[in-house]
Amino acid sequence: MTPLIAAANAGSTDCIKCLLKAGADANIPYHNGKMPIEIAAVRGAQECVEVLFPVTTPLARVAEWSTAGIIQHVKLTSSKPQVENDGSDFEAEADGACHKSDYAHALYLYTMAMENNPNDSTLYAKRSLCFLQTGAEDKALDDANSYKDMQPDFSKSCYPQGAALILAKEYGRATEALMSGLKLDFGRKPTGKGIQELNIIDVGSKFPTCIFSFGLEN
């Protein structure tokens, strides 16, 4: 056990600050794989989490990389079911959490489902929607791009890209993505009056999740 892990386990903010000032590495895990910031979060030491956050490398297993996201992550993992499953249970629970607008919980569950089924493109689309709802446009776009790469000829894979790009205010690229989806849907690229009547960017800039939801419809 490193001194920093001991300080995190004790919830001692002052010790953590002194150790970091002396050059302690916040990215050395305990023998169970947990990082000091996770140990502090388990102890409910929010101030310690806040001190460790800037010096900790983001962990892929934490869906939302923020102090609140880390605390939420350890709460969920501490009650994680010990039985094995194929990811469908996680996805079903995530769908329910998303329906209740509990996006932090849904992000965690979709991430767990993706660990079991990394080739399930729909999970990337659904997690992208959660990131979209929380305003994390970069992560939403990353997942939307993965969805598109996995389903290049599926028209609905274009809409999550468009929604994320609208949130990022990249309207030119958003137009290209959305028009690509429409072209795949209708077999040709809409032009002129058709685009004007759709006015998709004007509507989407106010309601990007509406466009995204259209992309998830069957």
Of 78, 112, 135, which residue constitutes the final position of a domain?
78
The confidence score (pLDDT) of residue 209 equals 45
The count of domains in the chain is 2
Are 28 and 119 part of one and the same domain? no
The confidence score (pLDDT) of residue 199 equals 41
Half-sphere exposure of residue 53, counting CA atoms within 13 Å on the CB side?
17
Domain span at residue 105?
Answer: 88-216
Q: Which residues contact 174 (CB under 8 A, 6 or more apart)?
A: 161, 162, 163, 165, 166, 201, 204
Answer yes or no: is 83 within a domain: no
The confidence score (pLDDT) of residue 51 equals 94
CATH of the domain at 10: 1.25.40.20
The confidence score (pLDDT) of residue 37 equals 92
Residues of the chain with pLDDT under 50: 80-86, 188, 190-218
Are 53 and 108 part of one and the same domain? no
Q: Contact 164/144 with Cβ under 8 angstroms?
A: yes
CA 123 to chain CA centroid, Å, is: 11
171-to-31, 138, 158, 203 alpha-carbon distances in Å? 47, 15, 14, 12
The confidence score (pLDDT) of residue 115 equals 79
Half-sphere exposure of residue 205, counting CA atoms within 13 Å on the CB side?
8
Condensed to tens digits (0 to 9), the pLDDT of residues 124-135 reads 988 888 888 888
In the block, tokens 């489902």 appear at 113
The confidence score (pLDDT) of residue 27 equals 92
| 180/84 Cα distance (integer angstroms) | 40
The confidence score (pLDDT) of residue 49 equals 93
101: tokens are: 């607008």
149: tokens are: 């790469």
Are 18 and 100 part of one and the same domain? no
Of 29, 44, 78, which residue constitutes the final position of a domain?
78
Condensed to tens digits (0 to 9), the pLDDT of residues 139-163 reads 888 998 898 899 888 777 777 878 8
